[in-house]
Amino acid sequence: MIVIDTAVQYLALLLTINQLMGISFNQPKFCPSTTWNPNAITFANASIAGACSNVIFINKTNGIYITENCNSQVQVWLEGNMTPVRTMSFGLNQPQGLFVADDNAVYIDNARYNGRVERWALNSSSGTIIMNVTGPCYSLFVDINNTLYCSIGTQNMVVKVPLDGGGVVPTIAAGTGGAGSSYRKLNNPHGIFVDNNLTLYVADCNNNRIQSFAFNQTNGTTIAGTGASGTISLTCPTGIMFDADEYLFIVEYGGSRIIGSSFNGFRCIASCSGPGSSSSQLNNPYSFSFGSYGNIFVADQTNCRIQKFLVSTNSCIHSTKKMVQLTTSSKVTDTLPITTTSHQSGGQLLQSFTPPTCPSSTSIGLTCNVSSTSCDMLSPCQNNGLCVDDNTTLSDYICLCPYGFDGQQCQTDYRPCQPDTCWNNGICNETSNTTFYCLCEVGWYGIHCEAKTDYCKNITCLNGGICRSSLFNYTCECLGESFSGRYCEIISTKTTAHRMVSKSFVLDILKYCFNVDPMRKELQKLKQKKKKKKCPVIVKYVYVNAPSIQPSEVPFLSAEETAM
């Protein structure tokens, strides 16, 4: 029998649900009794995030984006980094609203003095105009149909423009342009959200309520705050978000707190003791966003900081206990109490499984034997990096990388010797942390052993032969069987005879067929030379009365003397 740890499955679902929904921001799945640590961690203070941080946005890869109104810029942090990796400021003047699309394009309000919304592509140094507006966009949102929404608080309305249409002039999506509290009107709207049904939700600040507008409908419905009985009293809500189960979360600027909801109704989940500057308090929070693990990041405006509230527990309410047997193969190993929760939803009785509460906040599972720390659950560090749990970082862990590796997860290998540094079976040797040399095999050379040795460089093959360089040597390829030798220097006897026969045959054709004798003049010259040649004359002298001379004493006369 196979036993599946439901708690582990549930956490895995929480981590992956956003990818399945195809959106650019995080919508975690929470149990109704989920709690957050009341004492927040300061992610960024005024010296890092600026004194006027307005809108915060966290995308699915846990990249953090913040508009800094006073500094007229937008800063970006990547997961695990405590220092900004990108600053967008060119041409911006007191930006407010912000939205990051799934292609990492950033939509930034630049309307207070410039009257426009800009789109900044990934790694671009300036923005392009995407919408013309008559007032600052306190909040921006792009729906699943690629339509851009802007809440103009000073004009008491929400406008929209299709991004695929090419136009920059928006139309009204909610409100009439005049302040009011009727279902058709808004009064200083701020945060907006559009769900997959294209329903528009608006944080109607001065009316102390949350309004919903069905697609292409001008009449709104109050779902929380003033005018919605049985919900909760609100004081100037400015930010709204929905979780994976479409339960509403609200940041309350006037009440300096964060409110959540479930099928049990609304409740305060952070800064519930009133405004202040301690770690458990907020002071005029303006906007918030979920990290992928369910942690809440808040732009605490008056305190000039970004606060991070960590998820403390995410287990469901206990109501009914049953005894079940935990088995391995066919052997019963333990009997454990299991809790289920029943509740009404739309007239239907629903039941959900609840794992037992573990004594340690870092343990989960049926037997509380599974660690819930980020390092143990995710094993994020690569290349033998050491993972250290650290809840002061955005990712809740840091990786201590071994020599030669870098990056948030030690994924970047900067060692000079890589698998493809030396080619053709060359051996890479590191000479320092940044330099190397390749020991090349015979027949190869170059920095990476990329060049083949040319053994024909200083070789000349005779008689039209072609030099071919091989791996270790060279070869002269001779033409046919006429030549041989290492350099094709040897001419075969057949070739000599063929040349002689060929020459005689050609001369005969010219002489007897065309009456042309190329050799006639040469023959005449040879005959003339023979006639002119003198033959040697031998003269014999006879001595009379000469004394008797021995033969050995007879003088020898040269040919020249005899001819005289």
**pLDDT per position as a tens digit, 122-146:** 989 999 999 999 999 999 999 999 9
The CA angle 143-144-148, to the nearest 5 degrees, is 30
What pTM, to 2 d.p., does this model score? 0.59
Q: Give the amino acid at 400.
A: L
Cβ atoms of 415 and 408 closer than 8 Å: no
pLDDT band at 561, cuts 50/70/90? very low
pLDDT average, residue stretch 115-119: 96
Closest CA to 116 of 137, 145, 100: 137
User: What separation, in Å, do the N-terminal and C-terminal C-alpha atoms of the chain show?
Assistant: 136
What are 465-478's pLDDT values in tens digits? Answer: 899 888 788 899 99
pLDDT average, residue stretch 193-212: 96
Q: Give the amino acid at 412.
A: T
pLDDT of residue 330: 38
Q: What span, in angstroms and rounded, lies between the C-alpha atoms of 310 and 372?
A: 13
Res 440 pLDDT > 60? yes
**201 or 553: which leads in pLDDT:** 201
pLDDT of residue 322: 45
Res 37 pLDDT > 70? yes
501-512 burial: b if 16+ Cβ within 10 Å, else e: eeeeeeeeeeee
Q: At 21, is the secondary structure helix, strand, or coil?
A: helix
Cβ atoms of 124 and 74 closer than 8 Å: no
Give me the chain's average pLDDT, please: 82
**Least confident among 78-82, 263-267, 487-491:** 78-82
Dihedral pair phi/psi, residue 559, rounded to 5° = -65, -35
Cβ atoms of 153 and 205 closer than 8 Å: yes
Q: What span, in angstroms and rounded, lies between the C-alpha atoms of 297 and 107?
A: 20
pLDDT band at 270, cuts 50/70/90? very high
* Domains along the chain with CATH numbers: 6-311 (2.120.10.30), 320-372 (no CATH)
pLDDT band at 348, cuts 50/70/90? very low
**70 or 356: which leads in pLDDT:** 70
The CA angle 454-459-465, to the nearest 5 degrees, is 105
Q: What span, in angstroms and rounded, lies between the C-alpha atoms of 115 and 121?
A: 20
pLDDT band at 230, cuts 50/70/90? confident
What are 418-430's pLDDT values in tens digits? Answer: 889 999 999 999 8
**182 or 327: which leads in pLDDT:** 182
